[in-house]
Structure 1
Amino acid sequence: MTTLPNECYYIIFNNFRRYHKSLFSCALVNRQWCRVIIPILWSESEHHFHDEKLIRTLLLMLNAEEQTLLIPFKISIPSNPNPLFEYSSYIISVTNGLHDGIRNWVPPYERYEFGYETENAIKCSLIAMFLRTGKNLKYLNIDNTICNQIIFENLYKNTTITSIELCNISSDSKPKAIGVLTNVLCENSTLTSLDLRRNQLGFEEMKTLVEGFYKNTTLNSLDLCNNRIGEEKH
């Protein structure tokens, strides 16, 4: 029996990308089908970020540097065997649903001891990992975590992301977050869409961003709704 090339199998299975259970069953048939189907299933994993099992799998893919962010909070990485695939490399979008999944995974007693800092540390680690491994990553929803040095360095070097949504920036993090974003805009050659809604950005923040807008040559979509852009305060 003649075996079809992987390209043909991909076209066939991609037509069933909305039928996750059926695809998963097909992935168990043989290794060739599995190698074709796993990237399809994980390319839309943003719909399942709320699932704590997915968060557990993603934590297994953190490298040593990303794991150091969790040490102050005594967060234990699951002891499961290393994943057979680099699942994160297939993910296309990282949405705000990631926060819900992290909250579901964090044990209540850890949340009680460290508050939201535990969840933020995990989010920083995972986003840093997505930026490092995300060969197909196109969309990133990010908040104050953009100020983390590891995330900034990985975002600065990223060449796949075309759309960023920066949301819920706290007042004390706003100057640094906008400074980081401006540096990214100055160097990034793939970003085409930027969503800055509901950040209460004022004159000073926009004054900083203008430099990035001026130097960026790829951005063609910008959303600044619900900000406080006005005259300079004296």
Structure 2
Amino acid sequence: MKTLPLECYYIIFYNLHHDYKNLFSCALVNRHWCRVIIPILWSKPNLKDMRLIRIFLLTLNVNEQALLVPFKITLPDHPKPLFEYTNYITSINSYYLHYGVKFWLACGGFEMRKLDKIPHELENAIESSLVTMLLRTSKNLKSLHLNEIICNQLIFENLHENTTVTSMNLGKISDDFKSKAIDLLVKILYTKSTLTSLNFGSNKLEPGEMKMILEVLYKNTTLNSLNFNSSQILVLERKE
């Protein structure tokens, strides 16, 4: 019997990409199927799954681990995964990642805690280290949904160097971080030539911030989709 071309296997298995359980079972049949299925399984993984968080933590390098040192977290000490799973991820949503981190911490990643008692600084540190790692390791990353963790210097540096991300959405950013986030975003728009889609979400924009954005958009030649969604744009009234 002739073997099907690789492309045919991919089409067949991609039709199961929402059926994680059966797709995973197919990956265990043989190595050939496994090579086809793993990239499909990991293209859009469930970031709320704390088992996924454990795998991500095994992939952190020294700089990314350094963000967690002040919190004295004991990282998983299992062997590194056989596959470079994060290489296949195509999108990151920090909203879902946030809950994956909370569940991991609450179930023993730090110490037994109630979800509402976990320090915000600890959650932010882990999320920042994981997003930094994903920006560094994923060769297929196209879409980012980030909140105020975009203000982290390591994330900014890796985002600046990344050449695959084409779409970015900003989640709700608190007033304490908004000014810095807008400043970093403007720098990205000045220098990042791969970004073609940008969504500001529901963030309130001051006149000065809007002016900075308009100035960089005037000079940007790659962006072809811009969405202010439900953003509030404050307008200064002219004094008579």
- Tell me the TM-score normalized by structure 2: 0.89
**2:210–2:233 contact (8 Å) kept in structure 1:** no
Alpha-carbon distance in 1 for matches of 2:77, 2:238: 54
Secondary structure of the 1:191 match is coil
Q: Which residue of 1 aligns with 2:70?
A: 72
Measured after TM superposition, the shift of residue 113 of structure 1 is 8.1
Contact preservation (8 Å) 1:197, 1:227 = no
Cα offset, 1:112, TM superposition: 8.2
The corresponding residue for 2:52 is 54
SS, match of residue 106 in structure 1: helix
Structure 2: 5+ residue runs without aligned partners?
107-111
Task: Extract unaligned runs of 5+ from structure 1.
Answer: none
Match of 2:146 among 137, 142, 151: 142
Match of 1:197 among 197, 201, 216: 201
Describe the SS at the equivalent of 2:102: helix
User: Which residue in 2 is equivalent to 1:6?
Assistant: 6
Aligned partners of 1:110 and 1:118 also within 8 Å:
no
CA deviations over 1:9-41 (Å, ceiling 9, x no partner): 222222222222111111111112111100000
Shift of 1:98: 0.8
Matched-pair contact (CA < 8 Å) for 2:42–2:89? yes
In structure 2, C-alpha distance between the alignment counterparts of 1:230 and 1:200, rounded to whole Å = 11
Shift of residue 217, structure 1, vs aligned partner: 1.2
Q: Distance in 1 between matches of 2:214 and 2:58?
A: 39
The CA distance in 1 between the partners of 2:198 and 2:91, in whole Å, is 14
Off by >6 Å, runs of 4+ in structure 1: 110-114
Name the counterpart of 2:174.
170
Structure 2 vs 1, CA of residues 232 and 28 (structure 1 numbering), >3 Å: closer, same or farther?
Answer: farther
Paired AA for residue 233 in structure 2: R
Indicate how the Cα distance of structure 1 residues 92 and 118 shifts in structure 2: closer, same or farther if over 3 A, else same: same
Among 222, 227, 232, the alignment partner of 2:232 is 227
1:98 aligns with 2:97: yes
Letter in 2 for 1:103: K
Q: 1:218 aligns with which of 217, 222, 230?
A: 222
| Match of residue 88, structure 1, among 82, 86, 89 | 86
- 2:160 maps to amino acid: Y
Compute the RMSD of aligned alpha carbons: 2.1
Assess, with a 3 A threshold, how the Cα gap between structure 1 residues 153 and 191 changes in structure 2: closer, same or farther. Answer: same
- 1-side partners of 2:83 and 2:160: how far apart? 26
Letter of the aligned partner of 2:99 in structure 1?
A: D
Deviations 1:71-103 (A, max 9, x none): 111112111110111111111111121111111
SS in 1 for 2:226: strand
- Normalised by the length of structure 1, the TM-score is 0.91
Aligned partner of 1:26 in structure 2 is: 26
Q: Which amino acid aligns with 2:105?
A: V
Per the alignment, do residues 13 and 68 of structure 1 end up closer, same or farther by CA in structure 2, a change over 3 Å counting?
A: same
Q: Relative to structure 1, is the Cα distance of residues 189 and 27 closer, same or farther in structure 2, using a 3 angstrom cutoff?
A: same
Q: 1:226 to 1:118 in 2, by over 3 A?
A: same
Which residue of 1 is the match for residue 109 of structure 2? Answer: none
The number of residues matched between the two structures is: 232
* Equivalent residues of 1:73, 1:114 under 8 A apart: no
Tell me: CA distance 1:227–1:76, structure 2 relative to 1, closer, same or farther (3 Å): same
State percent identity of aligned pairs.
54
Indicate yes or no: 2:37 matched with 1:37.
yes
